[in-house]
């Protein structure tokens, strides 16, 4: 790759890295994993930059890659969890790799740490499309129109996904509240 491309790619990374990093964190809820995904996203951007058809903005396209990479990561992780569970059922000596992710968001105020940790755990249980819409709307603070372009669905569908995500979260939080007897 020549220097000119290096410079423009550097600019692309610099102007989008925080968006990608924060979005990935919303999905995986772990600093190290979010950093790995961010790197993978930009490697993919570099690899596919020639194929980028400019029908959407560069930032929209990068968001799309970030969401796909994050969801892929979670799918792989869940497969590992299931495999670990099956192994433990059949008495294989392999240790179970099912561990609760250590949630630590440096940007959350100390007094909100516990509550946001509960919220993120509840977000983790949402279906993929609801999770994506909720993260982009509440954490990335994108408009429903922007989310619609990224997710390639109608703004109405985005609204419906966010409503369903909220209802699902409310339901889960109620259960947690009752269980804990707060």
Q: Which residues bind another protein (CB under 8 A)?
A: 1, 6, 9-10, 13-14, 17-18, 20-22, 25, 31, 34-35, 38-39, 42-43, 46, 105-109, 112, 115-116, 118-119, 122, 138-139, 166, 169-170, 173-174, 177-178, 182
Q: How far apart are CA 163 and CA 148, in angstroms?
A: 14
Residues 122, 172 contacting (CB under 8 angstroms): yes
Q: What is the smallest separation between the CB atom of 32 and another protein, expressed in angstroms?
A: 11
CB of 155: closest distance to another protein in angstroms? Answer: 22
Residue among 88 and 117 whose Cβ is closer to another protein:
117
Per DSSP, 95 falls in state P
* Residue whose tokens read 């993978």: 40
* 32 vs 24: CA distance, rounded Å: 10
Q: What would the two tokens of residue 52 be? A: 């980028």
- Our CB check for another protein shows the closer of 43 and 86 to be 43
**In the complex, minimum distance from the CB of residue 100 to another protein, in angstroms, rounded to a whole number:** 18
Asked whether the beta carbons of 122 and 169 are under 8 A apart, the reply is yes
Name which of 38 and 132 has its Cβ closer to another protein.
Answer: 38
Q: Between 104 and 152, whose beta carbon lies closer to another protein?
A: 104
Closest C-alpha to 8, from 52, 38, 63, 68: 52
């Amino acid at each position: 790759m020549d220097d000119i491309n290096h410079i423009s790619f550097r600019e692309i990374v610099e102007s989008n890295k925080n968006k990608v990093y924060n979005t990935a964190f919303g999905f995986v809820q772990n600093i190290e994993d979010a950093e790995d995904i961010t790197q993978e996203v930009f490697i993919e951007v570099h690899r596919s930059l020639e194929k980028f058809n400019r029908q959407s903005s560069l930032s929209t396209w990068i968001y799309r890659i970030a969401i796909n990479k994050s969801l892929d990561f979670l799918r792989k992780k869940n497969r590992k969890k299931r495999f670990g569970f099956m192994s433990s059922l059949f008495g294989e000596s392999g240790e179970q790799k099912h561990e609760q992710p250590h949630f630590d968001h440096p940007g959350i105020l100390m007094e909100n740490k516990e509550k946001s940790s509960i919220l993120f755990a509840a977000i983790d249980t949402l279906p993929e499309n609801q999770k994506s819409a909720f993260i982009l709307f509440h954490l990335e603070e994108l408009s429903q129109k922007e989310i619609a372009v990224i997710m390639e669905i109608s703004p109405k569908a985005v609204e419906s996904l966010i409503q369903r995500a909220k209802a699902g979260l409310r339901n889960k939080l109620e259960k947690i509240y009752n269980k804990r007897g707060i």
